[in-house]
Amino acid sequence: MNWKNNSTLRAGVVMILGILFFFGLGAIIPTLFNAYVFTIVMYAGINVTAAVSLNLVTGITGQFSMGHAGFMSVGAYAAAFLTTVILPTAEIPPALVPLVFAGSLFFGGIVAAILGLVVGLPSLRLRGDYLAIVTLGFGEIIRVVILNVETIGGARGLPGIPQWTSFGWVYSVAFLAVLTVRRLLASSHGRAFLAVREDEIAAEAMGVNTTRYKVLAFIIGAFFAGVSGGLFGHFLTYLNPATFDFNRSFEIIIMIVLGGLGSTTGAVAAALFLTFLREALRPLQEITQLDFRMIIYSGLLIVLMLTRPNGFLGTKELTDFGFFRRFKGLRQ
């Protein structure tokens, strides 16, 4: 069997190698940085997953979703509900923790995906502005529902979540999200996503079931958003509905717009860049005694959008450049 010609097998090998690599790196990283830098590195990785998954919906399939934080919160709460409320976490033998954690992250992702289906089916028949408003409303509905459910803490928030999220987990999930999007794009599904984005009517005329593909992109995006939420909850050890308001959705949108709508590389780079930027500006506050961070951050976004309206990378990927071009062929 020639592994170079069997793309499924090859992807499986890449996936396993990638996960091993990130867990290996996870053993070294915490010793290199102090806890503060490590926290930022973790948030950056979680944001990468969120941005890559939203990019699938908004950048690649062209559906403007403003409720991504809603899916994150569903995943975060579903996973934390399993590990904090249902299971006697303290009694789980340490050897089983990775298994339980993987299971609860997956559960969080699935619950978010199911909600993605429920929301996506009726609303994805809408286009453009209407869809944006529906998804914005949906994100708020989720938040208000969580506020009112007492078993998961309601407005008081859910404390005492075990801290299981490690560097390996965060970056393996981010890696899986990137790999999934890349593999999807190389498949007929990916072609359909792009067709929907470029011209919905033409795509329909060519026999693409546009609603089906929009919903599919929405479900996959929601799944990874849910998993990233689960990682977030198990890192911070405390969840509060206020964390997932529409500002959070906008932050993720900013990431993908800045990186270039449709570019996975751009989404990854912008998620890392923006997460680090916010913290890099923090020392400024000690000097000025006032919080200028958000002003500078917002000003920078305005400048970037004026000078590069298509984002950093437009729709280009890493594989469009120099050395990395040789990997481009592999996905076709």
- Which residues are near other proteins by CB under 8 A? 33-37, 39-41, 43, 144, 147-148, 154-157, 159, 163, 232, 236-238, 240, 242-243, 265, 269-270, 272-273, 276-277, 279-280, 282-283, 285-286, 289, 291, 293-294, 308, 312-314, 316, 318, 320-322
Given the complex with other proteins, which of 7 and 89 has the nearer CB atom? 89
Q: Least distance from C-beta 219 to other proteins, angstroms? A: 27
Q: Least distance from C-beta 313 to other proteins, angstroms? A: 6
Burial of 16 (0-12, 13-18, 19+ CB in 10 A): exposed
Given the complex with other proteins, which of 218 and 232 has the nearer CB atom? 232
* Three-class DSSP labels, the chain: CCCCCCHHHHHHHHHHHHHHHHHHHHHHHHHHCCHHHHHHHHHHHHHHHHHHHHHHHHHHCCCCCCCHHHHHHHHHHHHHHHHHHHCCHHHCCHHHHHHHHHHHHHHHHHHHHHHHHHHHHHHCCCCHHHHHHHHHHHHHHHHHHHHHCHHHCHHHCECCCCCCCCHHHHHHHHHHHHHHHHHHHHCHHHHHHHHHHHCHHHHHHCCCCHHHHHHHHHHHHHHHHHHHHHHHHHHHCCECHHHHCHHHHHHHHHHHHHHCCCCHHHHHHHHHHHHHHHHHCCHHHHHHCCCCHHHHHHHHHHHHHHHCCCCCCCCCCHHHCHHHHHHHHHHC
Q: Least distance from C-beta 77 to other proteins, angstroms? A: 14
- Residue owning tokens 């403007």: 64
Q: How many CB atoms lie within 10 A of CB 1?
A: 6
Given the complex with other proteins, which of 208 and 251 has the nearer CB atom? 251
Given the complex with other proteins, which of 86 and 280 has the nearer CB atom? 280
Structure-derived torsion over alpha carbons of residues 103, 108, 112, 115, reported in degrees to the nearest 10: 90
Given the complex with other proteins, which of 33 and 327 has the nearer CB atom? 33
Given the complex with other proteins, which of 23 and 276 has the nearer CB atom? 276
Q: Least distance from C-beta 239 to other proteins, angstroms? A: 8
Q: Least distance from C-beta 268 to other proteins, angstroms? A: 10
Given the complex with other proteins, which of 24 and 159 has the nearer CB atom? 159
Q: Least distance from C-beta 229 to other proteins, angstroms? A: 12
Q: Least distance from C-beta 7 to other proteins, angstroms? A: 27
Given the complex with other proteins, which of 219 and 313 has the nearer CB atom? 313
Q: Least distance from C-beta 170 to other proteins, angstroms? A: 14
